[in-house]
């Protein structure tokens, strides 16, 4: 019973653990679906924002095997807070298609009869060297870093305007809000802009892709954990059934032995009663034997006395018989003498 209780407790504990695994799996699947849903929606939004290539340009990209290549926006790592500034500084350049080497595409470009297309070499990732430039807040292809290295950062539009007089040709200021100031020009983007938030979305997309991958990993781990929990529970249930079967067999055996014990006890009681009766009979026989022996002893004593008396009587009878015979003999003798006494009167008579 103790082993069965332990087996049942183990099954219950494993069932509870399995429920926990199922809950964790459902949670992981829910998180994965949420991440995938947001990722799909954001990817569609990002694709729409960067889908400037259409018509013959899109056909050319597909023909050159470049349609799936990442856009520049996806190849940049921008320090949080500077996304708007980078979007303003790069503009349409964010839609550029990243390629390995431009020389490899020179021949294929002859097939592009119409359309607008920007290609940029990915190269090794680089970052700006000067801390006061926008390039210092970006990691990406060398061509992009070189372009952003000519743009210095300003704390505010007022400071940028105040310092623009010192700018040399090709240099400019930009604020984190995307206010871009040259020596004699100013660019500000307000209101809706299809490209606004492109880099923030890309940052979010990277995060979501990582979260989706982590969610996939958690789901896989939860599924493996659940499978292991189910296997452990199945083994525990098998062990419980085996223990229960063994217990039932033991109980049945116990019942059989108990029945045999009761039968043996009944026979023992019967034998004991018979023994008691035999003991009582033996005691009765012993008492009767003692009485008989006593009676026999008395009879023997009586017989001995009777025999002694008989012997005494026989002796007396012999004595009396002898005495009688003697008396008879004496009487005979006396009679004989009496018969011859008259002759003795004579002197010559002889005395017999």
Domain extent listing, the chain: 1-50+202-278
pLDDT at 346 over 50: no
User: Residue 247 is encoded by which pair of tokens?
Assistant: 């217990």
Distance CA 66, CA 98 (A): 9
pLDDT at 351 over 80: no
pLDDT band at 303 (very low <50, low <70, confident <90, very high): confident
How high is the pLDDT of residue 177?
92
> Looking at residues 152-157, what average pLDDT do you find?
95
pLDDT at 52 over 70: no
Q: Which residue has the higher pLDDT, 310 or 152?
A: 152
Q: Which residue has the higher pLDDT, 255 or 314?
A: 255
pLDDT at 171 over 90: yes
User: Is the CB of residue 118 less than 8 Å from the CB of residue 211?
Assistant: no
Q: Which residue has the higher pLDDT, 210 or 161?
A: 161
How high is the pLDDT of residue 68?
79
pLDDT at 258 over 50: yes
pLDDT at 39 over 50: yes
> Looking at residues 145-152, what average pLDDT do you find?
93
pLDDT band at 268 (very low <50, low <70, confident <90, very high): confident
Give me the residue label for tokens 């034997």: 289
pLDDT at 142 over 80: yes
Distance CA 156, CA 174 (A): 8
Q: Which residue has the higher pLDDT, 36 or 190?
A: 36
Q: What is the mean pLDDT of the chain?
A: 83
The percentage of residues in the chain with a pLDDT greater than 70, rounded to a whole number, is 90
Sheet holding 186-187, edge to edge: 151-153, 172-174, 180-181, 186-187
Specify burial of residue 142 (Cβ count, 10 A radius: 0-12, 13-18, 19+).
Answer: middle
Distance CA 89, CA 82 (A): 11
> Looking at residues 262-276, what average pLDDT do you find?
86
User: Is the CB of residue 23 less than 8 Å from the CB of residue 226?
Assistant: no
Distance CA 193, CA 177 (A): 14
Quick count: other Cβ atoms within 10 Å of Cβ 101?
10
pLDDT at 128 over 60: no
How high is the pLDDT of residue 156?
95
How high is the pLDDT of residue 65?
85
Among 8-17, 162-171, 273-282, 340-349, the least confident range? 340-349
> Looking at residues 245-254, what average pLDDT do you find?
87
How high is the pLDDT of residue 352?
44
User: Residue 300 is encoded by which pair of tokens?
Assistant: 């023997």
Q: Count of alpha carbons within 13 Å of 249, Cβ hemisphere only?
A: 6
> Looking at residues 190-219, what average pLDDT do you find?
78
The reply to whether the predicted model has a pTM over 0.75 is: no
Tell me the range of 106-115, 195-204, 220-229, 339-348 where mean pLDDT is highest.
Answer: 220-229
């Amino acid at each position: 019973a103790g082993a069965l209780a332990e087996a049942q407790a183990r099954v219950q504990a494993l069932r509870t653990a399995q429920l926990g695994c199922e809950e964790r799996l459902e949670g992981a699947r829910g998180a994965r679906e949420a991440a995938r849903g947001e990722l799909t929606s954001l990817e569609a939004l990002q694709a729409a924002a960067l889908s400037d290539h259409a018509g013959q340009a899109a056909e050319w990209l597909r023909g050159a095997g470049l349609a799936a290549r990442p856009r520049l926006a996806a190849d940049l790592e921008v320090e949080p807070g500077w996304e708007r500034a980078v979007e303003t500084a790069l503009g349409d350049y964010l839609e550029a298609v990243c390629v390995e080497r431009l020389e490899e595409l020179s021949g294929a470009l002859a097939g592009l009869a119409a359309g607008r297309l920007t290609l940029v070499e990915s190269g090794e990732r680089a970052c700006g060297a000067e801390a006061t430039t926008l390039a210092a807040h970006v990691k990406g292809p060398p061509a992009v870093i070189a372009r952003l290295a000519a743009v210095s950062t300003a704390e505010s539009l007022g400071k940028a305007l105040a310092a623009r007089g010192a700018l040399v040709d090709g240099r400019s200021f930009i604020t984190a809000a995307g206010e871009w100031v040259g020596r004699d020009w100013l660019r500000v983007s307000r209101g809706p802009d299809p490209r606004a938030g492109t880099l923030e979305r890309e940052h979010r997309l990277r995060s979501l892709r990582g979260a989706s991958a982590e969610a996939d990993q958690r789901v896989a781990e939860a599924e493996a954990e659940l499978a292991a929990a189910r296997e452990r529970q199945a083994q525990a249930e098998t062990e419980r059934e085996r223990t229960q079967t063994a217990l039932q067999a033991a109980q049945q055996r116990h019942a059989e032995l108990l029945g045999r014990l009761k039968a043996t006890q009944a026979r023992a009681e019967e034998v004991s009663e018979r023994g008691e009766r035999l003991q009582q009979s033996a005691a009765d026989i012993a008492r009767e034997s003692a009485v008989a022996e006593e009676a026999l002893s008395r009879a023997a004593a009586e017989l001995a006395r009777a025999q002694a008396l008989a012997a005494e009587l026989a002796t007396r009878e012999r004595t009396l018989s002898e005495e009688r015979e003697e008396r008879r003999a004496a009487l005979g003798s006396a009679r004989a003498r009496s018969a011859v006494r008259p002759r003795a009167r004579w002197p010559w008579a002889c005395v017999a």
